[in-house]
Amino acid sequence: MRDILAPEADRWRRLVSTFAGLVEGAAYQFVMTPLMEDAEVFARVGEATDVVQKEMYRFTDNGGRDLALRPEFTASVCRAFVEQRPPTPWKVWMAGSNFRYERPQRGRFRQFDQVDIEVLGSDDPYVDVEVIALGWRFLRVLGLRRVELLLNSLGEVAERAHYVDALSEYFGAHADTLSEASRQTLARNPLRVLDSKRPGDAELIAAAPTIAEFYGPRSAAHFDTVRAGLDQLAIPYRVAPGLVRGLDYYVRTAFEFAGGTLDSAQNALGGGGRYDGLVESLGGPPTPGIGFALGVDRILIACDDEGVFAPTEPELDAYVIDTTGGAEALAITEELRQAGLRAGRVFDGRSMKAQMKSADRSGAAFAVIVGTSELDAGQAVIRPLRRDERSQSVVARLDLVSSLTTAIESES
């Protein structure tokens, strides 16, 4: 878990507001769910997954409740849907921290942030296309270019189950050639063996049965429409039959945005898929759903690697220097801020020289200076800080806001 300070924290917020602009422009509503849930909410949706089995921050509170910090958003959104029953299709977006007890490394943290969208109540394949396209668009808007969209369909529940049986049989028959770690995965969740990045397993995985052999006509048609929709929007993708994703509730569409600059174990900038059975498993009516989560921490690492979406310092319009005791600076900053200008000042009655230094460091466009003579004459000095200082002007104190506004406009 990390402290995130300026300018990184500011970039973080910009990323979330860029995301908000994009998804709110596509009619997704912002929602917030609690940071912790009844641990069962997560346990019920991901029994066989590492995220739930090994990585949850699970604890008993003072009232004896079995709680967990959320390791992801989707289960919480579905739980909220079951309790609140909003009209469908329910299109929502979220942003915030999730917690997983993983081994920390570059791109993998125990507290990490995600931005997320979910759509509940429609199984139209064009919803899948909209969701995937928004994720793709967002990464492009940030400036990322080395991103690959991986796409798969895991079939419907029964097809997926047949496939899991076939995989279990296949890997079981070749268990002696599998790595020890994959043998353990096989016992818990045969699909996840396909995720193994161990070189020894590669050949066996390449020759394993593929899910496409198990599609029925409905899931095949759904997948065809999703692909045709992405083609229509000219969004490039690669069909990746081995893409199963970490959470085991996905059916039909599954996708991932792989970053080109990160180590393969951490290269997923985000991903998602359909989870048509999830709401029902949490006690709600049968309700299809689809969504994605994108990892903010990891996206920002990818942005650094690609040299895009750089951190910026917040800019001030004015920095107020007052050598008469500080009350003038109090009045002026208040006036400027009420007029919508961004203004800073010095405290602690520093010398003129020290205050000028702070003003220079602040990166503000102008210094507003008030000394005893200006105070007596009802005036203030406006001095540009980003160019020749001799062009400073003396203005009437009463006209300060309008004079400064004019100066700012002529500067930009």
* CA-based nearest residue to 400, from 316, 320, 315, 327: 320
Residues 298-317 binding ligand AMP (CB under 6 A) are 298
CB of 243 to ligand AMP, least distance (A): 11
Selected range binding ligand AMP among 157-165, 195-203, 229-237, 265-273, rule: CB under 6 A: 265-273
Binds ligand AMP by CB under 6 A, chosen from 38, 40, 102, 280: 102
100 binds ligand AMP (CB under 6 A): yes
Binds ligand AMP by CB under 6 A, chosen from 56, 269, 329, 359: 269
Binds ligand AMP by CB under 6 A, chosen from 58, 108, 188, 397: 108
Binds ligand AMP by CB under 6 A, chosen from 147, 193, 293, 300: 293
Binds ligand AMP by CB under 6 A, chosen from 89, 241, 246, 311: 246
Write the interaction track for ligand AMP spanning residues 188-227; mark x where CB under 6 A is met and - where it is not: ----------------------------------------
Count of C-beta atoms within a 10 Å radius of residue 351: 10
Residues 109-128 binding ligand AMP (CB under 6 A) are 109, 112, 114
Binds ligand AMP by CB under 6 A, chosen from 46, 155, 190, 271: 271
Closer residue to ligand AMP, CB minimum distance, 107 or 344: 107
Residues that bind ligand AMP (CB under 6 A): 72, 100, 102, 107-109, 112, 114, 246, 268-271, 293, 295, 297-298
